[in-house]
Amino acid sequence: MTDITRRRSDKKREAIIQAATQAFQEFGVNGTSMDKLAELANVSKRTVYNHFSTKEYLVMHLIKEQWQSALVDINAEYKSDSPLNEQLEELVFQEVSFMCSDSHLELARVAIGHFFYKPEKLKDEVTQLKAQESSLHRWLKKAEADNRLTFEDIEQVVNEIDSLIKGQSFWPQLFKIEDNLSDDDKWRITRNIVAMVLSRYEC
Amino acid sequence: MTDITRRRSDKKREAIIQAATQAFQEFGVNGTSMDKLAELANVSKRTVYNHFSTKEYLVMHLIKEQWQSALVDINAEYKSDSPLNEQLEELVFQEVSFMCSDSHLELARVAIGHFFYKPEKLKDEVTQLKAQESSLHRWLKKAEADNRLTFEDIEQVVNEIDSLIKGQSFWPQLFKIEDNLSDDDKWRITRNIVAMVLSRYEC
DNA sequence: TGAAAAGTAAACTGTTCAGTGTAATATGTG
DNA sequence: CACATATTACACTGAACAGTTTACTTTTCA
């Protein structure tokens, strides 16, 4: 198989993925027939099936692919010589931005539409997502060890911060109840969250 | 039409509603065929259609019916001679209990399953739900007028509290990621939320 | 008891849709 | 050119499913 052949094939494949990504978000997996999809991708239905043997494979491929591209490493080293609010704002802003990013929302929409009535499967996938959230975890631990924050249950704190982030930058956007956030919005939300957290847990 | 006739008819109707409620939660609206439903209700398919002329009518009936039964009036009068934390805890506890009640979760599951890819319709329904949330609103306003709380944007505060409540007593339960909450859990969550809010906004 | 109301079983219609089979065509390689 | 690989058009299968029709039975009640 040569480069050029592969290139044509890859273009078709790309078109399928492109169309599927968009259609699944807009109409849902169930609302998108393979015929419709092929038409949107400007590709014959048979070609779709040559690349993805079943609809389920296509869906799973998309979810995993988008997961990869959505997974931006959020990292913020704890610094004992820098103000807490600045550091935490930096971290929370990254989380807020990630949560309301198109790539993450799109992924969440497809995944939820696909898994909503398959809670066992959903649980597995969510477990993976949780790995993502350990950066905040680590930062809080170090700040506590450094005697600048005090709390009893770190899981509780992470939960609270997570709730504040998602409640303002994820759930409303997921259901298209609220518009996308501007950078100003994100910073405003971030500052309020940090102010709240520090007023409660700062020593 | 006499009482007894109505009684047989009503029993059938009740069985249909009962079966639909359960099946829609478990398998989703799309995952529940009218044949399956009739079988689960121990009723002929035709009888289902005699009571509900289309599947859509049945779905909407259920959503509205459950909405009614779920809508417990949450009320807490602001009292200037009573500690803020006690009052707010009472109020937040009511909201937490409502959010993670079976009736509310069931409603949310059916509604989200039904509306997930119809954002326009969803928006309408959510607007109605928001009326529910004005009790917290009123309480906060009075506490501020009484100079015991200070904040700039009340919407912001309501949003934050709402996020904290739902992030711990609604979303995880909705997706069956977390088990139902015990009363102890609810109080623990409530106390933490109130402590956080007051540490930030109490004068 | 007999008429009206409600329910039942089962076959049927029409549509949507995932997935397949096939024969023809296009594209690129050696 | 000859060969291999991809793509296409399109007809087809088989299943699921919303909603209907029909011929028949049960329940209620005047």
* pLDDT digits 0-9 by tens, B122-177: 777 777 767 666 789 999 999 999 999 999 999 999 999 999 999 999 999 998 88
Q: What residue type is assigned to position A165 of the chain?
A: I
Searching chain A, which residue's CA lies closest to the CA of residue B124? A177
Overall domain count for chain A: 2
In this model, does residue B4 exceed pLDDT 60? no
Instruction: Give the contacts of B18 (CB within 8 A, at least 6 positions apart).
Output: B41
Is residue A78 located within the same domain as residue A143? yes
Percent of chain A with pLDDT over 70: 95
Instruction: Check which CATH number belongs to the domain holding A159 and give it.
Output: 1.10.357.10
Picking from B27, B44, B67, the residue at the C-terminal end of a domain is B67
Which residue of B122, B163, B175 is in closest CB contact with A163? Answer: B163
In this model, does residue B63 exceed pLDDT 80? yes
pLDDT digits (tens, 9 = 90+) for A135-156: 899 999 999 999 999 999 999 9
> Are the beta carbons of B203 and A200 closer than 8 angstroms?
no
Token pair in block for residue A108? 């969440």
Band (pLDDT 50/70/90 cuts) for residue B5 is: low
- Determine the pLDDT at residue B129: 66
- Determine the pLDDT at residue A68: 80
Q: What does each C-alpha distance from B71 to A37, B86, B98, B149 come to in angstroms?
A: 41, 24, 8, 29
Burial class (CB in 10 A: 0-12, 13-18, 19+), A93: buried
Band (pLDDT 50/70/90 cuts) for residue A169 is: very high
Is residue A54 located within the same domain as residue A109? no
Give residues 53-72 of chain B lying near strand D (Cβ < 7 A).
53-56
- Cα dihedral sign, B118-B120-B123-B125: negative
Is residue B95 located within the same domain as residue B166? yes
- Determine the pLDDT at residue A131: 67
Least confident of A124-128, B39-43, B180-184: A124-128
- Determine the pLDDT at residue A8: 81
- Determine the pLDDT at residue B3: 53
Picking from A19, A51, A67, the residue at the C-terminal end of a domain is A67
Give distance CA B90 / C1' C10 (Å).
57
A131 touches strand D (CB under 7 A): no
> Are the beta carbons of B78 and B87 closer than 8 angstroms?
yes
Distance (Å) from the C-alpha of residue A163 to the closest C-alpha of chain B?
A: 4
Is residue A21 located within the same domain as residue A35? yes
What distance in Å separates the CA atoms of residue A161 and residue A137, rounded to the nearest whole number? 10
> Are the beta carbons of A136 and A161 closer than 8 angstroms?
yes
Is residue B183 located within the same domain as residue B163? yes
Give residues 49-68 of chain A lying near strand D (Cβ < 7 A).
50-51
Is residue B41 located within the same domain as residue B102? no
Is residue A102 located within the same domain as residue A171? yes
Is residue B50 located within the same domain as residue B32? yes
Q: What does each C-alpha distance from A103 to A60, A86, A136 come to in angstroms?
A: 16, 27, 21
Give the residue from B27, B116, B120, B165 with the most A CB atoms within 10 Å of its CB, the best one to mutate. B116
- Beta-carbon separation of B28 and A196 below 8 A: no
In this model, does residue A36 exceed pLDDT 90? yes
Is residue B77 located within the same domain as residue B116? yes
pLDDT digits (tens, 9 = 90+) for B79-130: 999 999 999 999 999 999 999 998 889 888 888 888 887 777 777 777 776 7
- Alpha helices for B71-153 (secondary structure H): 84-99, 102-115, 119-131, 134-145
Percent of chain B with pLDDT over 90: 67
| DSSP state, residue B42 | T
Instruction: Check which CATH number belongs to the domain holding B57 and give it.
Output: 1.10.10.60
Distance (Å) from the C-alpha of residue B42 to the closest C-alpha of chain A?
A: 24
In this model, does residue B194 exceed pLDDT 90? yes
Looking up tokens 């409540």, which residue turns up? B165
What distance in Å separates the CA atoms of residue A95 and residue A166, rounded to the nearest whole number? 9
Burial class (CB in 10 A: 0-12, 13-18, 19+), B32: buried
In this model, does residue A1 exceed pLDDT 50? no
C-alpha angle with apex B41: B37 to B42, nearest 5 degrees? Answer: 115
- Determine the pLDDT at residue B2: 46
In this model, does residue A24 exceed pLDDT 50? yes
> Are the beta carbons of B44 and B35 closer than 8 angstroms?
no
Is residue A122 located within the same domain as residue A179? yes
* Higher-scoring residue by pLDDT: A6, A5: A6
Which nucleotide shows the minimum CA-to-C1' distance to residue A35?
C17
* Higher-scoring residue by pLDDT: B9, A195: A195
Picking from B50, B67, B84, the residue at the C-terminal end of a domain is B67
- Determine the pLDDT at residue A129: 66
A27 touches strand C (CB under 7 A): no
Longest dimension (CA), chain B: 64
- Cα dihedral sign, B183-B112-B165-B155: negative
Is residue B115 located within the same domain as residue B178? yes
Would you give the end-to-end CA distance of chain A in angstroms? 65
Is residue A46 located within the same domain as residue A89? no
Q: Which domain holds residue B166?
A: 73-201
